[in-house]
Structure 1
């Protein structure tokens, strides 16, 4: 009796797996684990076997979208209040749809490293949420091949029209913060930005400059510092801006609440009172901002709403529903206790 096609294929497949095992010096069971996306294989071994499988023409079976029950969130690093706000939003939306969530730290703010993509493809999530990062054309093609939609929150550059993205109205937020300081009488305003290449940072600075121009003013280059949205940058640049009493600003606009917290510490070390000697305004409205001493005036970007929207976009795209793109959510000025009119100088 002739052997059935199924048996012939299985026999050939086993033989090929044995060839891969001999070639890479591992067991057939290990090759099978790598092929099926098991996680209990050392990273170096997995990469070696993956390359051998690729050269042999093996491809991992693509799971049907219906069977995917996980959303993956990729951070540059997950060590800040900003990240926790994002995760709360993702978890809330995923829970309503019976989905689980996995987080990954990888690469930098502009781009995740290549190892992340291969590992993610083996996990085959329903979709991926990227913090800041964009993907290359080659990576887009891979994601499309595996039918894995992705959404970028606060993209680092100008995303292509076919890239799903969610962001806050950063330009308006920059305008609102600056108008508030101007309305109090501040004209000498220091700024601690985010990375120059990031779209959200550029938009906030453009809003800052636009609000100044309404009063016939322009940004003072001596009062502008490029930060990285981190507390350490707020502290370092805060000291730089405030150390000379003759040149220091009367207010500082920090482009993140974390930077603003660093400015608080710099002011404390220089024995400057907030807001009597220095007004400080932040951006984000993370959960602890209202509990600083004094409570931080800031621009609220709805981080949890942005994260929920990104998760919803993945779910809708996977179900072939129409998705509004890009999605821009409004920002709101939250006036608290860290801003007041500038004190009169002794030489006024």
Structure 2
């Protein structure tokens, strides 16, 4: 196990200085404290006493964990987080987990080295035991945004995914669509579970439960394109409308439709989810469920900061969504010919 001598060697100072930084951080300079903190992280020295003493000094840094930083969905959320954090004098450290729970676990390791004061978790791809342990620490607040754990009561800022999916399917059914497929994100993801539940519930309301067809993607462009081809290549079973769990997948479906010569919206209606910037500039412009992404980011950061101040706060806040109707949806071909 690393020792305090290892820390001193990595920090370029004496063991006495390291001990003083751990026991009485206010008695050393900020530069020395930061050097010792970095050295502790570098050598992996984090006994309970060190962690407990280091918690006496704030880092003024919040870690935001994302499942995939390349996904444009997160840009507005990060912007909202940054606005609130900057106003309160905090910095935001973005951690890209790349859908890898082990990478997320590494960021949680910052708890014991005073390199962050709290975590904003934007992914459910994290070991539950790790989250339970963090949530049990009153000195290290954790807030979830967008995603959630169905079996954990964590402070959360999110939307009603079931209701949003119901709204999308109800709209398509009102246009006259009967063969409505859905392209979900990862099936085990709680938000996808809720959206699929809304899809099924609304089909049942309209007497279409026998028409349910669900394919699984990963929220990305490529999976939308590939699964779009799978849904559209057979004229016999081809849906007249597809509800996608992300705008990226919906744009992938639009590409598949173009490749197969299927006109949108004349022969196929497509609905996305999130209202990312590209949704308004693709061809045709995409009908989508709009999430208040900037507001999600701001409210999540506000909740975390209030917890850091020791204030009581509402543990779960649900924000509203809106269906944005654009050019990618219309009545099915039979309706056109009948009119």
TM-score tier, shorter chain, comes to 0.7 to 0.9
Distance 1:278 1:194 in 2: 21
Q: Which runs of 5+ in 2 are unaligned?
A: 23-32
Structure-2 residue corresponding to 1:160: 152
Q: 119-128 or 165-174, which moves further after superposition?
A: 119-128
SS of the residue corresponding to residue 322 of structure 1 reads: coil
Equivalent of 2:222, from 220, 228, 232? 232
Contact 1:167 1:329 in 2 (8 A): yes
- 1:233-281 alpha-carbon deviations (Å, 9 max, x no partner): 1101000000112221111110111110110111111111111121100
RMSD across aligned positions (CA):
3.2
Equivalent of 2:77, from 70, 86, 97? 86
- 1:137-162 alpha-carbon deviations (Å, 9 max, x no partner): 4554456557120111233531422x
Distance 1:193 1:219 in 2: 18
Distance 2:90 2:41 in 1: 27
Equivalent of 1:184, from 175, 181, 185? 175
Contact 1:110 1:156 in 2 (8 A): no
SS of the residue corresponding to residue 132 of structure 1 reads: coil
Contact 1:90 1:308 in 2 (8 A): yes
Query: After TM superposition, what 4+ stretches of structure 1 lie above 6 angstroms from structure 2?
Result: 39-42, 345-348
Alignment of 1:305-324 (within 5 A): 305-324=295-314
Question: Aligned pair 1:252/2:242, yes or no?
Answer: yes
Contact 2:184 2:216 in 1 (8 A): yes
Equivalent of 1:50, from 30, 44, 51? 44
Contact 1:193 1:254 in 2 (8 A): yes
Alignment of 1:148-297 (within 5 A): 148-161=140-153, 163-218=154-209, 220=211, 223-297=213-287
Contact 2:60 2:116 in 1 (8 A): yes
Pick closer, same or farther for the CA change 1:54–1:335 going to 2, 3 Å. Answer: same
Question: Aligned pair 1:115/2:106, yes or no?
Answer: yes
SS of the residue corresponding to residue 277 of structure 2 reads: coil
- Normalising by structure 1, what TM-score? 0.81
Question: Aligned pair 1:147/2:134, yes or no?
Answer: no
Aligned residues: 321
Pick closer, same or farther for the CA change 1:198–1:91 going to 2, 3 Å. Answer: same
Measured after TM superposition, the shift of residue 39 of structure 1 is 9.4
- Normalising by structure 2, what TM-score? 0.83
Q: Which runs of 5+ in 1 are unaligned?
A: 1-15
